[in-house]
Amino acid sequence: MKELVNENIRNLIPYQVADLDYDVKLDANENPYHIPEILDGELKKELKEEIFKEFWNYYPDADATELREALAQKCGVAKENIIMGNGSDEIILNLMLTYLNGEKAVVIHPPTFSIYKIFAQVTNGKVKEVPLTEEFELDAEKMEAAAKESDSAITIITYPNNPTGNLFQEEAVEKIIKNAKGIVVIDEAYYEFAGKTFMDRIGKYKNLVILRTLSKAYGIAGLRVGYMVADVALVNEVNKVRLPYNLNKISQLVALKMVKNDDKFRPIIKEILEERDKMAVEVAKIEGLKMYKSDTNSIFFRTEKAEEIFAKMLENRILVRKFSGNMKDFIRISIGKKEDNMKVVEILKAVMQKQ
């Protein structure tokens, strides 16, 4: 039966999520705090009541109007500029379904978020890879040249990048948006940590798409809520591809609470950033680890003992992210709760000091 499967799917290596035993999850850049615990008890109670007041036998609001209105206000755009996704992952797929085919390409800058390449293959698009430099900076000239080619329908810039954690030079990115042949997607999954955005240029560039998620800073990865912001004409095309009712009632309801209470996340974001900077200093002191600057809620480093570090962390019931292929010497660790971060530093020291 395998020969019935489309060739692009048959040859696909699926996105892998670790299936391991652990207590502390620091592998996927999630917020270490469960949201209702951050927000006050009143909100927790209110949420519970509202969730059970909802009629689950009816479909949700197909356009997530209230949520889009709240987000539009925060982003300084109109709700017509916004599409919600079941995670921003779903929007990446919808963008590719809208713009790619066998003749058209997506331009990406590895090492970056692996979903882009997987979905390009799913939608049978071509992939043009413009690797980051040795220090993981954007190779801006090559990226721009690739984005300018006539078959480059989508260019994706991850700002800041994942897994490396760094922002790229703003002027270089804007030049790519300006000169690209196709649409340019700026994936701002870590915007709340990095504080830098291209949102104010939505009105200026008709080919610009900003991707955001509530999975990272806003701590609802488990509810799958992401969104894109773009020119209305572009939004209308991508909306033809979106599944009806793609955002369920509970996700819409909780996401709305989170967006309306985004000020309550500020102390948490501040704590995570302080912890990250503290860890960066501690980890940089350890011999044999090369740290990279992070603008996200994770640290990223190079080491010849990546395999050993991963194993030792797991032995201590901590899951971190390791990579394979030409990234096998790298580790990414999400910033967790204070006590867990301290434990991470201790384990790193122990592994690296062992001869």
Ligand X SMILES: *Cc1c(COP(=O)(O)O)cnc(C)c1O
Binding site for ligand X (CB under 6 A): 29, 87-89, 113, 158, 162, 187, 189, 213, 215-216, 221, 226
Q: Output helix, strand, coil percentages for the chain, rounded to the nearest 5.
A: 45, 15, 40
Query: How far is the C-alpha of 177 from the C-alpha of 175, rounded, in Å?
Result: 5
Cis peptide before 32 (omega within 30 of 0): no
Backbone angles phi, psi at 287, to 5 degrees: -70, 135
Query: How far is the C-alpha of 31 from the C-alpha of 215, rounded, in Å?
Result: 8
Shortest distance, CB of residue 41 to ligand X, whole angstroms? 27
Q: Which residue has the tokens 């709760």?
A: 337
Shortest distance, CB of residue 240 to ligand X, whole angstroms? 21
Q: Which amino acid is at 89?
A: D
Given the complex with ligand X, which of 89 and 231 has the nearer CB atom? 89
CA torsion sign for 309, 310, 311, 314 is positive
Shortest distance, CB of residue 209 to ligand X, whole angstroms? 13
Q: In 3D, which of 130, 136, 226 has the Cα closest to residue 180?
A: 130
Position closest to ligand X via CB:
87
Shortest distance, CB of residue 272 to ligand X, whole angstroms? 15
Shortest distance, CB of residue 221 to ligand X, whole angstroms? 5
Given the complex with ligand X, which of 29 and 31 has the nearer CB atom? 29
CB 312 within 8 A of CB 339: no
Shortest distance, CB of residue 9 to ligand X, whole angstroms? 21
Given the complex with ligand X, which of 127 and 221 has the nearer CB atom? 221
Burial of 47 (0-12, 13-18, 19+ CB in 10 A): middle
Given the complex with ligand X, which of 98 and 215 has the nearer CB atom? 215
Given the complex with ligand X, which of 211 and 351 has the nearer CB atom? 211
Burial of 329 (0-12, 13-18, 19+ CB in 10 A): middle
Shortest distance, CB of residue 307 to ligand X, whole angstroms? 23
Token reading at 124: 């049978």
Q: What ranges in the chain are assigned the alpha helix state H? A: 7-10, 35-38, 41-53, 65-75, 88-99, 115-122, 140-148, 170-179, 191-194, 232-239, 249-260, 266-285, 306-315, 338-353
E strand or H helix at 301, and its extent? strand 298-302
Given the complex with ligand X, which of 107 and 351 has the nearer CB atom? 107
Shortest distance, CB of residue 243 to ligand X, whole angstroms? 15
Q: In 3D, which of 75, 98, 131, 160 has the Cα closest to residue 325?
A: 131
Shortest distance, CB of residue 71 to ligand X, whole angstroms? 13
Q: How far is CA 8 from CA 13, 83, 119, 126, 348, in A?
A: 10, 28, 10, 11, 40
Given the complex with ligand X, which of 122 and 345 has the nearer CB atom? 122
Shortest distance, CB of residue 277 to ligand X, whole angstroms? 20
Given the complex with ligand X, which of 189 and 283 has the nearer CB atom? 189
Given the complex with ligand X, which of 27 and 89 has the nearer CB atom? 89
Query: How far is the C-alpha of 70 from the C-alpha of 1, rounded, in Å?
Result: 48
